[in-house]
Each structure stands twice: as structure tokens, then as C-alpha cells.
């Protein structure tokens, strides 16, 4: 067993050996360099550049660095909080505040969430390579650990923290503090009891084998024991036949004996040759993709990607350039990179005249900082297809003079090169939008166009400039204008440069004048934008008309201008109405972004999700409000047993603060299916709370339902604190006993935490 191996090989430093084993880097020169540490120049601005000592701690998971602040002379951050490490002067800060000669010595550590980048310069090119390579290896190895190894890694590191005097022994007081560190509050009598059980040497301290015994007691999963023992019918172990019975009866999987044998060979460590699965192997299986709540096949691209672009939901960002609020928050190319790395496929570029002749991006008439348009295009080109090969739409909000519009077009054509769509695919005028498959690796520009697309095939000329509204969509009478900008400007118009017009092919922006006008006048390549309030009214009062409109054309929705804090609206009613480009503020952690992440967690997280057939059929009678009868109605009972949770993080870092967790199970979908139920809270146990709470939900349109598990810390006097959540499409949920991964408020995976549930979908008709 993995745990036994680690304890049997303990030498001078138990914990360091375990962590090196887990990181698969024993003897690695990069790791040894990081463990020794070195000076780095920390760069914050042109005037703030200071040398600090950085060092990887023995847990191979925590970076320590000195600080000159009196109250915080030593600071740390977790390697797990790092989004990525980039070599060279790739961030705005390093490009702006360091010389080009430092290119080979510079690197940046980028964090998950809103934490600022760490821009650093090493003493030499060789040292910079050690830092970048070493951190990248550790991040990769930590991400590749099995859930069991992550659990052990986490617990061993907590043990290290509890071993205050560093003697690799554990006193009764240290044991009590350790339990608090891992989110369990216990009374002194229980601590004394568990200590006496483990202290077989009666020396008053727990050592090697005794610590191992304590670990086994701590990590015992009673709920797993019960399930395993019911099916372990072959001399106390689970044979392939026994496992097949479990898979068929409990997991409702239609598999054969060969599949059961394959699982044993894949996850069993001790008895695989005998085609037997131990309890450890069974637990390992339950933590792997086959045992998680999402169908493994849905983790890859499984949908038909050859249908017209308007038949898909498209992950879309609003004010993509912002890292925070839209009044005085910073604009950054990093915001575009973060959205792209989350597989966002529609980016907004709000472009204005720059003072030095170069167009800039920022939130006009506000205090948000400005970034060069060409720098944004360069960043987009580099990161657009790292997580998804499917097309990226550049949604232009153009406020520039004609000269700077020409520069915009020039930058896009020279930087994006052949990847930019500048003419229709094929030799003839198309009749519908191309598919994501046809547009792989390509960029589409959404904006104003001087003439109709048909003119390209009729050899018609256009004038170089033509008067158009300043805003490319419905914002000429937007509440944003009324609320924020009336004092700064009056409604005005700008001329449109032919060069910019010519690269708008499949996403020509047009104003929406009603469904009848759109049916008679709007072409398939013309897209209308709707502010959230107008879109919500249409989705509520004219849902079927909206669905039929979106069957043949693209629609883009964006937040109200009153959302100065960059908050978000509920995207679900708009998805129910077939709207494809439902743009959200990606920079704002919230329930709405959880729902967006949940919808696009399927289909390989490629940023495109095929709409259900009743949202893309030209004669569809579906209405999510009235729920008239049709093939979309599939009454389903969704039964959920919330069994337990594992290793929930503390909300408050104080050792004395222990969470009182509860779980909410929510259904988001058509109005008739919206529901929420919650467990009781468990007092003082965030490590292994157990509920065994049963819920049933009755669904009418399961193809539009999202299931959201939310874990909160109960508070009797104020609102509960958020701990973690997981949202997935109902159609991606696996039946049976499943582990549910949890994500923090920024949408990042909590590496060790999770829920254990039993789910069952039953046809109610």
C-alpha cells in the first residue's frame, strides 16, 4: 500500500521524503535548487524593485520569502495557488519596468483568482531556468497526483505543521492542535482516548508506526466500508464479478466483465494479478474519473461540432479587459489571457483613440487604466487556442477615429495573419453560418460593416467611409449611457473605415427592431446585441419567438451599465431562450459565473455546447415559461443522497475556527424545475462530516437543467460563508455512488476537498 511504503522508507526527514516521493522529483536538480533558495529581484514599478530571498519549504508545496514589513517578516504562498509560471518579460509589469537585456533572467508567477502577479528577475539565466522549470514540474506533479495521494500529501503537511518542535513525534497537545488544523474540533476526552489507542509504546509520544496507525484511524471512511463489504464476497475482497455486480446494480452502468477487470488492473495496487480489488483499490476507483459525478465521456468533446455556429451556446465575456470593477479598476492583457485559459470564446474589446496615435482599450469615460489594442491582439493570438481549438469571436466596441480604425484593422491582419477570417469560406455566398469545426483555430470579428456580405460576390464597391452609430449594438440608448455618460457626451456618430469594415464577415452588428423585422430583413450573418433587461423581458414574454429568432441568427446579451461593480445577471433564462453569446463579467466570482463554468464544463470545456434539438429546430414550439407539451418534456425524478464530505477548507485561517458545514443542492433550469434543498449543519467538523440526507427533485426539462452542490459554513447570526461548489449539467450526471469535486469562489479546484453522494435519475412517466 502507498502509505506503508512511505512510512517504511522514512529516514532523517519523514515529511520531506514523503513530499519528494509525491512530487516524483527525488534527486532533481531544479528541486534541490528551489529547496536551497536564492535571491530574486521583485519588480512592482519603475521605482519599486527590491531583492528578496525565496525558498521552497520542505513540504514541496509552500514558497517562503522574506518581507521587510515589521509584522510580517516571513510570508508564504502555496504552489497550488499558482495558475502558471512564465519565463521572460511576458507580463505588462516586466515589459514596462525592466530592460530588454533582462529577458532571459526574468519570469513571472501568476496566481489564481485576483491576486497580483509576482514579477521577478533572477541573478542569472541559469537560476531563472531553475526557478521556472522547478516550479512547473512541481505544479504538474501535484496536479497529476491521485486523490488518495493528494489526501496523504495534505495530511502529512498538516502533521508537519503540528510537529512544533520538529522531532518527528507527536504529543497529546500537538495531536489536538493537528485535529484543529484539519478542521475538526474535539473535546479533551476524545483526544486522550485516540492518543491512548495509538500510543502502544506508552511513552507519551506518537512515533512512526503509531503515527501511521493514527493516520489510518483518521482516514477511515465508514461509508465506503459499508458499500465495499456488501460486494466484497470473495474471501473478503471484491472479485471482477463482484465489481461488475456493483457497477450494474449501484452505478447503473451497462458494462461487461472485461470492463470490471480493466478497472481492477488500473486501480488495484496489491491484488490485481489475482483479479481482486481491495478496499484501497475500490476507494482509488471512486476518486478517479470513472467514479466522479460527471460522465467521463463528457470531459472530452463528444458533441456534433459540424452544425452552424448559431446552434451552440458560446462561452462569452463582457468588459474582458477589466480585472476588477468598471469605474476605476485596472485594464490588463492578463484579463484576456485568464478568460481564454477558461475557454472563453467571445471577447469584448472596447477601443478608443490613444493619445500617441495608437488605439487603446479601456472603459470609456471612467478611471479604468488603458492598454494598447495591439498588445491585446498579441496576447489573444498567443493564448487563444491553448485550451480550445474552436473559434474565438472578437466583439469590437469601436469609438475610434477613422485613422485609428485603420490601425486596428492593420494590427489584426498583421498579428493574427491567416488565422483571421477576412472572407467567407468557399467560393459562393453561404446560406448559413459555418460550424465550429470548420472554424477551428480561426478568429471572427464582430462589428459594424458598411455593406451586405452578398456584395463580395457581386463585385460591388463601397465608399471608404459611412456614417454609423458610435456604439455597435443597442447601447446608443442604453441605461449605461443614461447613468454614466450623459454628462460627458451627447449621442454622436463616427465614420467607419473600410479596412475595419472589410474584416467583419460572419458577425455583422445590427440593431434589433423586433422579431418581425428580423424575420423579414436580418440575414443569418447579422447579429444583434441586447442589454440584459431587454433580453430578460423577451425571454419571459416572447420566449418562443426568441427561440425561433436564435435558431437562425446569433444574439449577444451583455450586463446593464448600472452594474458598476461588474456584478452579473442570471444567464439561465437566456440560455433557455436559445441565446448563444450570453456575456458575463469573468473577473467577478459569483453564482452566475459558477453556472457558466458548470454549463461549459462539458464537451471538453471547449467553450461551445450544442443547444438541445428543441432550441435549434426552425419550427420549434418550445416555450420554457408555459411548458407546452412536446418531446422536450421528459418528467424525471432526480434522487440525491448527500452522504459525506472530505477535507473541507477553513473559512477562517485561525486554528480555533472550525466550520459547521451544510450542503445545498440546487436545480437551475426552466422556471418549473428551479428548486433548492439543504442538509442540516454538522457542528465543528470540516474534515469528514457525514449527513446521509436524502432529497428528490422532479424535473420537466432535464436537458436544460444544471445541478449545483454548494457547501457553506453555517452561521446562526449572519449569512453563511461560502466554502465550495460544483455545478454540472444534469445530462452529464452519473448515477450511483459518486465523488463531487469542489471549486472555490474563483472557480479553481480545491485539490483535496470533495463531497460523496449517491444520485439516481428515474423516468417518472
Sign, CA dihedral 619-302-439-346, equals: positive
Grid coordinates standing for 722? 461560502
- Is 301 domain-assigned? no
Average pLDDT score over residue span 54-80 = 78
Q: Band of the pLDDT at 483, cuts 50, 70, 90?
A: very low
- What local confidence, expressed as pLDDT, does residue 452 receive? 93
Region 12-30 average pLDDT: 56
Residues 126 and 638: their CA atoms lie apart, in Å, by 57
Distance of alpha carbon 316 from alpha carbon 299, whole angstroms = 20
Tell whether residue 713 is among the known ligand binding residues. yes
393 vs 416: CA distance, rounded Å: 13
Residues 525, 449 contacting (CB under 8 angstroms): no
Quick check: is 667 in a domain? yes
More confident residue, 267 or 157: 267
Mark whether 581 and 439 lie in a shared domain: yes
Q: Is residue 253 part of a domain?
A: yes
pLDDT at 446 over 70: yes
Residue 370 known to bind ligand: no
Residue 741 in contact with residue 754, Cβ under 8 Å? yes
374 is in an annotated binding site: no
Burial class (CB in 10 A: 0-12, 13-18, 19+), 590: middle
Beta strands across the sheet bearing 636-646:
675-678, 661-668, 706-713, 721-729, 736-743, 749-763, 636-646, 690-699
- Is residue 387 assigned to a domain? yes
Q: Same domain for 33 and 69?
A: yes
In the chain, % of residues over pLDDT 70: 90
Please report which confidence band the pLDDT of residue 466 belongs to, taking 50, 70 and 90 as the band edges: very low
pLDDT at 491: 46
Residue 70 has a pLDDT of 52
210 pLDDT tier (thresholds 50, 70, 90) = confident
96 carries a ligand binding annotation: no
* Confidence category of residue 212, pLDDT binned at 50, 70, 90: confident
**660 to 177, 646, 717, 721: CA distances (angstroms):** 18, 13, 13, 10
**pLDDT for 465 beyond 50:** no
Residue 465: give the domain boundaries.
Answer: 309-615
Q: Taking residues 1-11, report their average pLDDT.
A: 37
Average pLDDT over residues 606-625: 96
pLDDT of residue 156: 72
Residue 64 marked as a ligand binder: yes
DSSP assignment of 97-137, as one string? HS-GGGTTTEEEEEESTTPPPEEEEESSHHHHHHHHHHHHH
Whole-angstrom Cα distance, residue 386 to residue 444? 17
Q: What angle do CA 710, 711, 713 make, to 5 degrees?
A: 140
Q: Do residues 379 and 425 both lie within one domain?
A: yes
Res. 623: pLDDT tops 50:
yes
Q: Is 658 annotated as a binding residue?
A: yes
**What's the pLDDT score for residue 474?**
54
Q: What is the CATH number of the domain that holds 388?
A: 3.20.20.190
Which of these is catalytic: 153, 287, 298, 363? 363
519 and 577: one domain? Answer: yes
What's the pLDDT at 476?
Answer: 44
Mean pLDDT (the chain, rounded): 88
User: Are residues 664 and 712 in contact, defined by beta-carbon separation less than 8 angstroms?
Assistant: yes
pLDDT at position 13: 38
pLDDT at residue number 316: 97
Mark whether 190 and 284 lie in a shared domain. no
Q: Are residues 59 and 105 in the same domain?
A: yes
Sort strands 312-314 and 608-610 into parallel, antiparallel or unpaired.
antiparallel
Q: Is 446 annotated in some ligand binding site?
A: yes
pLDDT over threshold 80, residue 154: no
Judge whether 46 is annotated as a binding position. Answer: yes
Confidence at 309, pLDDT banded by 50, 70, 90 = very high
Is residue 607 domain-shared with residue 660, that is, in the same domain? no
Residues 6+ apart with CB under 8 A from 389: 440, 441, 606
- Consult the annotation and say whether 632 binds a ligand: no
- Tell me what percent of the residues of the chain surpass a pLDDT of 90: 68
> Which distant-in-sequence residues (6+ apart) come within 8 Å of 602 by Cβ?
294, 298, 299, 302, 609, 728, 729, 731, 732
Per-residue CA distances from 253 to 246, 256, 262, 293, 680 (Å)? 9, 9, 15, 13, 31
Asked if residue 274 belongs to a known ligand binding site, the reply is: no
Is residue 627, in this structure, part of any structural domain at all?
no
Give start and end residues of each alpha helix (H) in 493-611. 498-501, 515-521, 532-541, 543-552, 572-576, 591-599
Which of the four pLDDT bands, split at 50, 70 and 90, describes residue 485? very low
**Mean predicted confidence (pLDDT) in 136-154:** 79
Q: Are residues 519 and 668 in the same domain?
A: no
Indicate whether 656 pLDDT > 90. Answer: no
**The three cell numbers locating residue 572:** 439561465
Q: How far apart are CA 470 and CA 696, in angstroms?
A: 52
Phi, psi at residue 133, to the nearest 5°?
Answer: -65, -45
660 appears as a binding residue in the annotation:
yes
The answer on pLDDT for 459 being more than 70 is: no
Whether residue 478 is annotated as binding a ligand: the answer is no
pLDDT of residue 711 exceeding 90, the answer is: yes
Looking at the domain assignment, is residue 625 inside a domain? no
Choice among 130, 298, 318, 758 that is catalytic: 318
| Mean predicted confidence (pLDDT) in 41-56 | 93
Domain end position, chosen among 291, 321, 339: 291
Strand partners, 43: 49, 119
Residue 17 has pLDDT above 60, yes or no: no
> Structurally, how many domains does the chain consist of?
5
Report the pLDDT value the prediction gives residue 618, as an integer from 0 to 100. Answer: 92
Residue 630 lies in a domain: no
State yes or no: pLDDT of 479 exceeds 50: no
Does residue 650 register a pLDDT over 80? Answer: yes
Over residues 41-68, the mean pLDDT reads 88
Helical pair 208-218 and 147-162, crossing angle rounded to 10 deg: 120
Q: Between these two residues, 187 and 7, which has the higher pLDDT value? A: 187
Cell triple for residue 80?
497550488
Q: How many CA atoms lie less than 13 Å away from 495 in the CB half-sphere?
A: 12
Q: Is 81 annotated as a binding residue?
A: no
How far is C-alpha 528 from the geometric centre of its chain's CA atoms? 28
What is the chain's alpha carbon radius of gyration, rounded to the nearest angstrom?
28
User: 44 labelled as ligand-binding?
Assistant: yes
Is residue 132 domain-shared with residue 255, that is, in the same domain?
Answer: no
Please tell me the distance from the alpha carbon of residue 678 to that of residue 612, in angstroms, as a whole number.
29
Contact 194, 175 (CB under 8 A): yes
Q: Confidence class of residue 4 from pLDDT cuts 50, 70 and 90?
A: very low
Query: What pLDDT does residue 726 have?
Result: 98
Comparing 223-237, 533-547, 651-665, the range with the smallest average pLDDT is: 651-665
Which comes out higher in pLDDT, residue 594 or 563?
594
The reported pLDDT for the residue numbered 458 is 81
DSSP state of 631: T
Residue 291 has pLDDT above 70, yes or no: yes
Beta bridge pairs of residue 737: 758
Q: Decide if pLDDT at 469 tops 50.
A: no
d(CA 661, CA 690): 10
Mean pLDDT of 742-747: 94
Does 517 participate in catalysis according to the annotation? no
Does the annotation place 58 within a ligand binding site?
A: yes
Would you say 561 is a known binding-site residue? no
Same domain for 281 and 317, yes or no, is no
Same domain, 41 and 24: yes
pLDDT reported for residue 492? 56
Residue 55 assigned ligand-binding role = yes
576 and 555 in contact (C-beta within 8 Å)?
no
Res 256: pLDDT: 96
Is 263 assigned to a binding site?
Answer: no
Q: What is the CATH number of the domain that holds 42?
A: 2.30.29.30
* Over residues 291-305, mean pLDDT: 97
What's CA 508's distance to the chain center, in Å? 30
Does residue 100 sit in the same domain as residue 174? no
Q: Is 54 annotated as contributing to ligand binding?
A: yes
Annotated binding-site residue? 448: yes
Residue 146 pLDDT grade (very low, low, confident, very high; cuts 50, 70, 90): confident
Q: Is 529 annotated as a binding residue?
A: yes
Residues 447 and 420: beta-carbon distance below 8 Å = no
End residue of a domain, out of 182, 203, 218: 218
pLDDT tens figures, 68-105? 665 555 588 888 889 899 999 998 889 889 999 999 99
The whole-number average pLDDT for the span 610-633 is: 95
Point out the domain boundary residue: 261, 291, 321.
291
**pLDDT value for 219:** 80
Give a yes or no: residue 272 inside a domain.
yes
Show Cβ contacts of residue 48 under 8 Å, excluding neighbours closer than 6 positions: none
DSSP 326-386: TTTPPB-HHHHHHHHHTT--EEEEEEE--TTSS-EES-TTSS---EEHHHHHHHHHHHTTS
Least confident of 36-45, 403-412, 472-481: 472-481
Q: Residues 508-567: pLDDT tens digits?
A: 999 999 999 999 999 999 999 999 999 999 999 999 999 999 999 999 999 998 888 889
Mean pLDDT score, 286-299: 95
Least trusted range by pLDDT, from 109-118, 132-141, 269-278: 109-118
Instruction: Read off φ and ψ for residue 359, nearest 5 degrees.
Output: -60, 145
Binned at pLDDT 50, 70 and 90, residue 742 comes out as very high
Sign (positive or negative) of CA dihedral 298, 304, 306, 308? negative
**Predicted local distance difference test score (pLDDT) of residue 179:** 85
- The more confident residue out of 189 and 89 is 89
Q: Is 617 a catalytic residue?
A: no
61 is in an annotated binding site: yes
Residues 6+ apart with CB under 8 A from 289: 296, 299
Give all strands (DSSP E) within 422-573, no chain letters: 443-447, 467-469, 493-495, 507-509, 526-531, 555-558
Question: Which of 16 and 668 is assigned the larger pLDDT?
Answer: 668
Q: What is the CATH number of the domain that holds 231?
A: 1.10.238.10
Amino acid at each position: 500500500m502507498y502509505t506503508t511504503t512511505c512510512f517504511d522508507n522514512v529516514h532523517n526527514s519523514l515529511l520531506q521524503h514523503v513530499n519528494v516521493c509525491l512530487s516524483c522529483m527525488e534527486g532533481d536538480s531544479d528541486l534541490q535548487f528551489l529547496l536551497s533558495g536564492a535571491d530574486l529581484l521583485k519588480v512592482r514599478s519603475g521605482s519599486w524593485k527590491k531583492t528578496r530571498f525565496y525558498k521552497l519549504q520542505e513540504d514541496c508545496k509552500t514558497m517562503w520569502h522574506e518581507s521587510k514589513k515589521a509584522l510580517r517578516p516571513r510570508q508564504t504562498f502555496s504552489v497550488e495557488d499558482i495558475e502558471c509560471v512564465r519565463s521572460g518579460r511576458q507580463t505588462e509589469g516586466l515589459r514596462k519596468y525592466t530592460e530588454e537585456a533582462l529577458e532571459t533572467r526574468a519570469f513571472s508567477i501568476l496566481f489564481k483568482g485576483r491576486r497580483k502577479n509576482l514579477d521577478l528577475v533572477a541573478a542569472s539565466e541559469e537560476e531563472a531556468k531553475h526557478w521556472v522549470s522547478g516550479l512547473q514540474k512541481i505544479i504538474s506533479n501535484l496536479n497529476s497526483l491521485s486523490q488518495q495521494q493528494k489526501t496523504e500529501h495534505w495530511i502529512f503537511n498538516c502533521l508537519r505543521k503540528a510537529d512544533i518542535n520538529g522531532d518527528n513525534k507527536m504529543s497529546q497537545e500537538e495531536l489536538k492542535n493537528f485535529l484543529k488544523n484539519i478542521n475538526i474540533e474535539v473535546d479533551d476526552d476524545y483526544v486522550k482516548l485516540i492518543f491512548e489507542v495509538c500510543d502502544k509504546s506508552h511513552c507519551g509520544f506518537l512515533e512512526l508506526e503509531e503515527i501511521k496507525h493514527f493516520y489510518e484511524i483518521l482516514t477511515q471512511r465508514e461509508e465506503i466500508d459499508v458499500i465495499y463489504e456488501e460486494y466484497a464476497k470473495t474471501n473478503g475482497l471484491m472479485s471482477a464479478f463482484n465489481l461488475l455486480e456493483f457497477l450494474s446494480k449501484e452505478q447503473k452502468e451497462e458494462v461487461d466483465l472485461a470492463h470490471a477487470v480493466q478497472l481492477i488492473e488500473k486501480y488495484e495496487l496489491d491484488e490485481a494479478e489475482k483479479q481482486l480489488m481491495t478496499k484501497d483499490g475500490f476507494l482509488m476507483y471512486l476518486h478517479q474519473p470513472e467514479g466522479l459525478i460527471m460522465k467521463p465521456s463528457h470531459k472530452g468533446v463528444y458533441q456534433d461540432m459540424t452544425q452552424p455556429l448559431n446552434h451552440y451556446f458560446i462561452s462569452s465575456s463582457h468588459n474582458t479587459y477589466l480585472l476588477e470593477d468598471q469605474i476605476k479598476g485596472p485594464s490588463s492583457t492578463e484579463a484576456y489571457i485568464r478568460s481564454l485559459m477558461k475557454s472563453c470564446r467571445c471577447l469584448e474589446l472596447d477601443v478608443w483613440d490613444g493619445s500617441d496615435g495608437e488605439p487603446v482599450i479601456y472603459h470609456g469615460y471612467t478611471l479604468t487604466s488603458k492598454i494598447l489594442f495591439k498588445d491585446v491582439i498579441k496576447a489573444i493570438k498567443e493564448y487563444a487556442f491553448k485550451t480550445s481549438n474552436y473559434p474565438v469571436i472578437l466583439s469590437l466596441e469601436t469609438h475610434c477615429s477613422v485613422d485609428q480604425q485603420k490601425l486596428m484593422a492593420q494590427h489584426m491582419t498583421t498579428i493574427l495573419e491567416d488565422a483571421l477570417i477576412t472572407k467567407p469560406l468557399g467560393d459562393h455566398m453561404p446560406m448559413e453560418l459555418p460550424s465550429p469545426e470548420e472554424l477551428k483555430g480561426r478568429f471572427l470579428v464582430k462589428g459594424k460593416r458598411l455593406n451586405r456580405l452578398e456584395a463580395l460576390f457581386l463585385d460591388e464597391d463601397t465608399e471608404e467611409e459611412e456614417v454609423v452609430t458610435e456604439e455597435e449594438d443597442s447601447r446608443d440608448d442604453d441605461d449605461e449611457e443614461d447613468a454614466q455618460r450623459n454628462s460627458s457626451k451627447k449621442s454622436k456618430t463616427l465614420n467607419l473605415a473600410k479596412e475595419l469594415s472589410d474584416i467583419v464577415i460572419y458577425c455583422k452588428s445590427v440593431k434589433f427592431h423586433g422579431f418581425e423585422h428580423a424575420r423579414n430583413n436580418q440575414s443569418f450573418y447579422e447579429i444583434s446585441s441586447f442589454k440584459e433587461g431587454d433580453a430578460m423581458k423577451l425571454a419571459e414574454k416572447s420566449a418562443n419567438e426568441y427561440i425561433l429568432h436564435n435558431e437562425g441568427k446569433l444574439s449577444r446579451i451583455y450586463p446593464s451599465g448600472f452594474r458598476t461593480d461588474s456584478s452579473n445577471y442570471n444567464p439561465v433564462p437566456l440560455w433557455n431562450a436559445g441565446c448563444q453569446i450570453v456575456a458575463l463579467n469573468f473577473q467577478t466570482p459569483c453564482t452566475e459565473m459558477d453556472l457558466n463554468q458548470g454549463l461549459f464544463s462539458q464537451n471538453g470545456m471547449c467553450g461551445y455546447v450544442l443547444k438541445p434539438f428543441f432550441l435549434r429546430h426552425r419550427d420549434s414550439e418550445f416555450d420554457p415559461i408555459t411548458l407546452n407539451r412536446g418531446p422536450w418534456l421528459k418528467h424525471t425524478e432526480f434522487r440525491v443522497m448527500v452522504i459525506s464530505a472530505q477535507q473541507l477548507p477553513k473559512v477562517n485561517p485561525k486554528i480555533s475556527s472550525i466550520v459547521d458545514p451544510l450542503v445545498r443542492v440546487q436545480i437551475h433550469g426552466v422556471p418549473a424545475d428551479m428548486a433548492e434543498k439543504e442538509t442540516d449543519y454538522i457542528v465543528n467538523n470540516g474534515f469528514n462530516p457525514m449527513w446521509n440526507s436524502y432529497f428528490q427533485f422532479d424535473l420537466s426539462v432535464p436537458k436544460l437543467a444544471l445541478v449545483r452542490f454548494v457547501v457553506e459554513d453555517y452561521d446562526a447570526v449572519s449569512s453563511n460563508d461560502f466554502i465550495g461548489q460544483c455545478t454540472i449539467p444534469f445530462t452529464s450526471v452519473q448515477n450511483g455512488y459518486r465523488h463531487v469535486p469542489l471549486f472555490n469562489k474563483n472557480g479553481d479546484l480545491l485539490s483535496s476537498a470533495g463531497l460523496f453522494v449517491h444520485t439516481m435519475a428515474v423516468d417518472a412517466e
